[in-house]
Structure 1
Amino acid sequence: SLYRWSGAAEYSSLKVALAARAAPAELAQVAAAVRKDVVRTDRAHPYFGGPEEGHPHLAALQALLTTFALGHPRLSYCQGMSDVAAPLLAVLDDEAQAFLCFCSLMRRLAPRFRPGGRGLARAFGHLRRLLRRADPQFWAFLAARGAHDLLFCYRWLLLELKREFAFEDALKVLEITWSSLPPAPPPPPEGVPLLGGPTSSSGSPGG
């Protein structure tokens, strides 16, 4: 099923099936793109620290991101996704559960990673309107200096401030953010889709 979740066994089957059906060139390209980020994501944290070779947590992060990318080829993997997935894996310490949570989270965050930047443009628009209303004096200060495009907030919005704090502090910020906001769009009654649906503009499997 694309929606129902029975745990680690289903995730393992999904991971194997997606890797098997992918063309070798596609699999190699996705794996290389993911690996480039995985080996430098939160490496100062004990959970991800240590030698790369044979590191179980780096391997788990690599696997869940590769599986997500193969299951959502229209979006695939984009730089920064490893920063979103790493806290989930570090807290849950379970690749299958982290994958499920990542799929759910990407229902809201995927537009920010899409080529063309419309999702991020919308987030910037929201931030500009909020700042003009909440602190017009500071907004005027930024506008007078040509900084009202707020491009310095790019990483803040893409990664939800994850890189702006020490890892343990970032976990607290993300917990508040992720537990306070509903997913967008709301998940269907049968559960979180594991293929295509969470990030497909058409909502069709494989998107």
Structure 2
Amino acid sequence: MASLFRRKSGNDDLQAFYPIRPECVADVPKARFRNRAGKTLSPRRWQAAFSDDGHLDIAKVLRRIQRGGIHPQIKGFVWEFLLGCFDPNSTFDERSKLRERRREQFCGWKTECQNMVPTIGSGKIITTAIVSDDGQLLQDPLANNDSQDQDCLVKSAISDKKVLQWMLYLPQIGLDVVRTDRALVFYESEVNQAKLWDVLAIYSWVDNDIGYVQGMNDIASPMVILLENEADAYWCFEHAMRRLRENFRTTTSSIGVQAQLSTLSQIIKTIDPKLHQHLEDLDGGEYLFAFRMLMVLFRREFSFVDALYLWELMWAMEYNPNIFSADESNSNNNGACILNDKQLKRYGKFVRKNVKSGQSDQHSALAVFLVASVLETKNKKLLKEAKGLDDVVKILGDITGNLDAKKACHEALKIQKKYLNKTKK
């Protein structure tokens, strides 16, 4: 299970797992996360959580993660369970077969994409347009391929709306990839950049309803770093997108996170009407200043290490055993039934409270309460110093690199409790 970075150093220094380019060290926020013995989920405790045939004691794992996060050596493997790639009640053999099926399916999609644009899977990326908006080839994606049949396939396929839109995504994905986590040594390698590009390119082909939107690169990058196999990284990202894909759906009349921003507005109005009114007076009642936080789950507000720590805390707190994998699960339980204490332990803290209160609003994600907790910590400053929206953005910008992930999550849970109590009344 050793990660790519574990082989570089034998110590537990996080720098050994996620090395930073020397010239970037001064510009990167200092990580607050530390591996804490007795709190962090360690490789030894992770292994001990499995039965002989592979059943995972998910309740024990969730407790440990919520106390101290996950050791970098096993982070990617644990994320696969937190995101619902695998059912904790499955066996080693069942998961091995499922992983193999998924890898084969990924290879099939990759081959489809390679037949249209051979750069896919070549270890290189595209950053310049290969086709115009009206379907004219600007450069032949098969210029280095001698197959005349394939060449005809591409030229005829560009009249296909799905293929054209996908080809238009590719250079934008490439431009975003070369800007992604540039401070990390990992992305000095063009091969590693290409791995991220492949994952995003193939996802945009498969999920053509959403396609590709800037910010998805920030979500996919950690999966590519943590999981060595490209197919495994793809499926981990795909499961994360099941939660987040509506964030990236934008139309002429609405933005993807609109529903969550609306929920955020309702939460602040309920728990802190004075602050809400002040923001309304500044024309900030739509809470668009929180757009980025929700869109990419605080990637820009935390260091890389702390962002990963925040995500796993959130996913552990939001864990719901009934929706572990929408494609393989035949369960339709949405948490509305009566559960005993033992059953509730298999839920994360956040979901547990929602289940107990009967709350089922899908837009009330923990991320929304996290933003609410950030606003509450800046309450006095916002009321006193914010004279316009630019001031709000500036005050909130000061949190970058200064947030404590665990404290922020616990504050979010407090606000959730306060909000549920008030709405119940």
TM-score normalised to structure 2 length: 0.40
Q: Which residue of 2 aligns with 1:190?
A: 328
Report the alpha carbon displacement of residue 182 of structure 1 after superposing the two structures with TM. 4.8
User: Aligned equivalents of 2:230 and 2:310: distance in 1?
Assistant: 22
**Structure 1 range deviating more: 118-127 or 155-164:** 118-127
Matches of 2:219 and 2:200, distance apart in 1:
10
Q: 1:115 to 1:144 in 2, by over 3 A?
A: closer
Aligned to 2:281, which of 115, 120, 144? 144
Question: Within 5 Å, which residues of 2 pair with 1:9-158?
Answer: 9-20=104-115, 23=157, 26=164, 28-48=167-187, 50=188, 55-116=190-251, 117=254, 119-158=256-295
Deviations 1:120-141 (A, max 9, x none): 1101111111112232232232
Cα distance in 2 between the residues matched to 1:39 and 1:167:
16
Q: Deviations over 1:41-62 (max 9, x none)?
A: 11112222x2xxx612101000
Work out whether residues 88 and 101 of structure 1, in 8 Å CA contact, stay in contact via their aligned partners in 2: yes
| CA shift for structure 1 position 16 | 1.1
SS state of the match for residue 177, structure 1? helix
Amino acid at match of 1:86: S
Q: Distance in 1 between matches of 2:99 and 2:227?
A: 17
Instruction: Using CA pairs under 8 Å that are at least 6 residues apart, name the structure with larger relative contact order, 1 or 2.
Output: 1
Aligned-partner residue type, residue 61 of structure 1? L
Q: Considering only CA atoms, is the larger Rg found in Structure 1 or Structure 2?
A: 2
For 2:224 and 2:199, locate their aligned partners in 1 and report how far apart those are by CA, in whole Å.
Answer: 9
Q: 2:315 aligns with which of 149, 173, 178?
A: 178
TM-score (norm 1): 0.77
Do 2:262 and 2:286's aligned partners in 1 also have CA atoms closer than 8 Å? Answer: no
Q: Provide the residue aligned with 2:354 in structure 1.
A: none
Deviations along 1:86-119, one digit per CA (max 9) or x if unpaired, are 1222222332111101111111211111122354
Number of aligned residues: 183
Q: Alignment identity in percent?
A: 28
> Where do 5+ consecutive residues of structure 1 fail to align?
192-207
Which ranges of structure 2 fall in alignment gaps of 5 or more residues?
Answer: 1-97, 117-153, 330-425
2:278 and 2:228 map into 1 onto residues whose CA distance is: 45
SS in 1 for 2:235: helix
C-alpha RMSD of matched pairs (Å): 2.5
SS at match of 1:165: coil
Contact 2:250 2:256 in 1 (8 A): no
SS in 2 for 1:47: helix
